[in-house]
Chains A and B, each alone.
Chain A
Amino acid sequence: NAGVMQNPRHLVRRRGQEARLRCSPMKGHSHVYWYRQLPEEGLKFMVYLQKENIIDESGMPKERFSAEFPKEGPSILRIQQVVRGDSAAYFCASSHGRLEGQPQHFGDGTRLSIL
């Protein structure tokens, strides 16, 4: 999946710690989306951002989770006080514009494991 870069690829945290996941969109893309995949399930939408703006956060838990896409630098998904249930693969996608005719392209994900 050339283009959308996510790091780290694997992240291990203990319960109560913070997790920070980074996503650099494809060159020229200003729309970023975060999805979470639990084992044996499809991807679930979390949040949609454009530069410096959160457009839709309807899929993101109200507590402990936050996302940003600053004017400069990557998009960050932040999970505070992680719990075992946060263990999942987190995927970032980017697009050039809104979805019609502009498919989202995904990174290879960050696999978060909570001890």
Chain B
Amino acid sequence: DQQVKQNSPSLSVQEGRISILNCDYTNSMFDYFLWYKKYPAEGPTFLISISSIKDKNEDGRFTVFLNKSAKHLSLHIVPSQPGDSAVYFCAASGNGNKLVFGAGTILRVKS
């Protein structure tokens, strides 16, 4: 029962262009969404989050968009840099504590 889905296992983007990572969810009780970035042999690093009362949140090069009616969120990274190459996880919560993670998307930024 995958409540959070990241349907693209990988994404390749040229340096300087926009990276768009997508995430879909099925549980309408989710009200808080987060994106994490993970390098090999390290733990996930928090990037950005959004509450269900908003449809957009921006922090520097990172913007998260939430479409509640479609149960879809996306992470935009612009401009993309080689150091952004990592696995990106979408996560959601509906009860204020545990996170439900997607399977991740591998982002490769080519220089």
Q: Which residue numbers of A lie inside 8 Å of B, CB to CB?
A: 1, 4, 6, 31, 33, 35, 40-45, 48, 55-56, 58-59, 91, 93, 98-101, 103-109
Q: Which residue numbers of B lie inside 8 Å of A, CB to CB?
A: 4, 6, 31-32, 34, 36, 41-46, 49, 51, 89, 91, 93, 96-104
Given the complex of chains A and B, what is the CA–CA distance between A41 and B54 in angstroms?
Answer: 29
Nearest CB in chain B to that of A9: its residue:
B41
The answer, among A31, A55, A108, for a CB contact under 8 Å with B42, is A108
Residues of B within 8 A of A98 (CB): 96-97
The answer, among A4, A45, A48, A55, for a CB contact under 8 Å with B100, is A45
The answer, among A33, A43, A105, for a CB contact under 8 Å with B89, is A43
Find out whether the CB atom of B42 lies under 8 angstroms from the CB atom of A56.
Answer: no
Residues of A within 8 A of B6 (CB): 42
Ordered by A's residue number, 29 sampled pairs between the chains whose C-beta atoms are within 8 Å are A1-B42, A1-B45, A4-B43, A33-B98, A41-B103, A42-B6, A42-B89, A42-B102, A42-B103, A43-B99, A43-B101, A45-B100, A48-B98, A56-B97, A56-B98, A58-B98, A93-B43, A100-B32, A100-B51, A100-B96, A101-B51, A103-B46, A104-B46, A104-B99, A106-B36, A106-B43, A106-B45, A106-B46, A108-B41
